[in-house]
Amino acid sequence: MLLIISLSSCANEYIKSQSPNLSIPKSHVKMDLIKLSEHVYYVQGSSGVATENEGFISNTAAIITEEGIIVFDALGTPSLASLFIQKIREVSQQPIVKVIVSHYHADHIYGLSVFKELGAEIIAPLGYSDYLDLPIANQRLEERRISLAPWVNETTKILRPDTVIETKTSFALGGIDFEINYLGRAHSDGDLTLLVKQDKVLLSGDLIFEGRIPFTGSANTKHWLELLEQIDNSTLHALLPGHGKVAENPSLAIKETLNYLKTVRSKMQFAVDEMMSFDEAYDSVDWSEFEDIPAFKSAHRINVFGIYLSLEEESMK
């Protein structure tokens, strides 16, 4: 059973005392802390576009052990990260020692400064710099300072990780065993997942989208599909995606993301093979099976265009 944790008023004072150097406007979103397993708690963002709900559209999790707390992903604003820490303090006073970032996209990393201020080690996959060192990173930050003001503002910074993961990595903390799986370029320029072994919970980041259209951007959808087909979910208790509700049936969640990517790739592969223009290709397909899924209007056509371009590139190689 999932347990929702309420917020007490004293938690805000704790955050102020722990993060005195950060100028963080208060978030007003509804954020419920849900207990997923013995050690894993999470919050679930809305299914809207990136600038809706004060930027609270992605999920994040805390794994509470006897020797400290590990956070998976940092949310899309410092204000959201602060609110999440308030929620954690309702169930544990253990220090937050590590923040593992599934990938470097804005809605997962803009809260990192709050955790860094508390002394947490930031861990990210190899490939993060392919995003961070390009103009798009600063362009996106400037755009969010407008579209998500005041929660993203001039004090919001993009932090580099302290530790970079480029292979499967196992570690233990407080009697809990963890396995970081480095995925390479899939949804982003570098992705990873985290398995909490004793709890049999997989934190998938944006490798899986549950209950909404995936965002593909500049993804390597060919490799993404290969990874989805390789996931062994036979022993999982639950899968927490980067967006959407927890998947208590991991096979179904994987199947839905897999089906979306396979369908778009196959339709656009035919179009590329037939040398169709994008507009002609898009209009020739019946997309009705996806129309009722949240974020279809905001993300689907952009996804299809990106995949069309990537398949053109693949065909030239």
pLDDT at 316: 87
11 closest CA partner among 26, 1, 22? 26
Measured between alpha carbons, how far is 305 from 299 in angstroms, rounded to an integer?
10
What are the average pLDDT values for consecutive 10-residue runs of the chain, which has 317 residues? Answer: 42 40 83 98 92 96 98 98 98 98 97 97 97 94 97 96 98 98 97 98 96 91 95 91 92 94 98 97 98 93 96 88
Structural domains of the chain ordered from first start: 3-250 (3.60.15.10)
- Return d(Cα 15, Cα 150) in angstroms, integer: 19
Other C-beta atoms closer than 10 Å to the C-beta of 71 total 25
Between CA 57 and CA 117 the distance in angstroms is 23
pLDDT at 304: 98
pLDDT of residue 16: 40
Residue 315 pLDDT: 87
Please report the pLDDT score of residue 234 as a whole number.
84
pLDDT of residue 10: 39
Angstrom distances, CA of residue 124 to CA of 51, 71, 174? 24, 12, 21
Q: pTM of the predicted model, to two decimals?
A: 0.90
Neighbours of 182 (CB within 10 A): 17
Edge to edge, what strands does the sheet with 176-184 contain?
169-173, 176-184, 191-196, 201-209, 238-243
Side-chain-side CA neighbours of 92 within 13 Å: the count stands at 22
